[in-house]
């Protein structure tokens, strides 16, 4: 398994990751980055497309868990309630330690787990270090110029990974 931060799969948005796809890849536990994955940074609530997607994925038997580096506990908790999902804040990605902790708590083996996120050097790297499947999505909002630079620096890694 590569420890370079290459994504395994790429999608345009989180709601494009179908329950069918997850079943085909035997993914039963899906960790979710929040900012720019479930919503742009300043958006307080998930869109219905995202909550509908989460409901469909949960109905197929996949467990969700929001794993965010955010310190804004209240913001993360609102998303967790709306997605009916447990959550972790201050996850410290790219460290894999919180990912491994929630997997241990849920008795999930790494080959059945994936993490969805928009950033290479936090999300994809933490997934690789945890030995789970990294799924990269396109960031929802590129208007922040510092983030745009960061995404540009990620380009050599972003182009890898299978588009589904």
**The two structure tokens encoding residue 91:** 């996850």
Per CB under 5 A, which region of 32-40, 47-55, 103-111, 154-162 contacts Mg ion? Answer: 32-40
Phi, psi of 136 (to 5 degrees): -100, 135
**Residue of 15, 36, 85, 89 interacting with Mg ion (CB under 5 A):** 36
Nearer to Mg ion, 28 or 33 (CB): 33
Minimum Å distance from CB 56 to Mg ion?
22
**Residue of 33, 85, 102, 154 interacting with Mg ion (CB under 5 A):** 33
d(CA 80, CA 97): 20
Give, as ranges, the residues between 115 and 144 that touch Mg ion (CB under 5 A): 118
Per CB under 5 A, which region of 4-12, 26-34, 126-134, 150-158 contacts Mg ion? Answer: 26-34
Check if the beta carbon of residue 35 is closer than 8 Å to that of residue 68: yes
- The DSSP code for 31 is E
Residues in the chain: 164
**The two structure tokens encoding residue 93:** 């990605």
Half-sphere exposure of 140 (CA within 13 A, CB side): 18
**Residue of 28, 35, 94, 133 interacting with Mg ion (CB under 5 A):** 35
The verdict on 154 binding Mg ion (CB under 5 A) reads no
Beta carbons within 10 angstroms of residue 55's beta carbon: 14
Nearer to Mg ion, 74 or 104 (CB): 74
**The two structure tokens encoding residue 30:** 């899906």
Nearer to Mg ion, 27 or 140 (CB): 140
- The residues binding Mg ion (CB under 5 A) are 33, 35-36, 118
């Amino acid at each position: 398994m590569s420890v370079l931060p290459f994504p395994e799969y790429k999608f345009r948005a989180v709601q494009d990751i179908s329950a069918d796809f997850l079943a085909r890849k035997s993914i039963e536990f899906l960790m979710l980055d929040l900012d720019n994955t479930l919503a742009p940074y300043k958006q307080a609530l998930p869109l219905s497309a995202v909550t509908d997607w989460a409901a469909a994925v949960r109905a197929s038997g996949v467990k969700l868990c929001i794993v965010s580096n955010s310190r804004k506990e209240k913001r993360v908790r609102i998303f967790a309630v709306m997605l009916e999902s447990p959550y972790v804040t201050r996850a410290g990605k790219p460290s894999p330690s919180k990912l491994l902790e929630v997997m241990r708590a849920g008795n999930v083996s790494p080959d059945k787990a994936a993490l969805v996120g928009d950033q290479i050097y936090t999300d994809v790297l933490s997934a690789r270090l945890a030995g789970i499947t990294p799924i990269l999505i396109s960031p929802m909002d590129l208007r922040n110029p510092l983030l745009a630079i960061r995404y540009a620096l990620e380009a050599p890694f972003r182009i890898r990974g299978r588009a589904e």
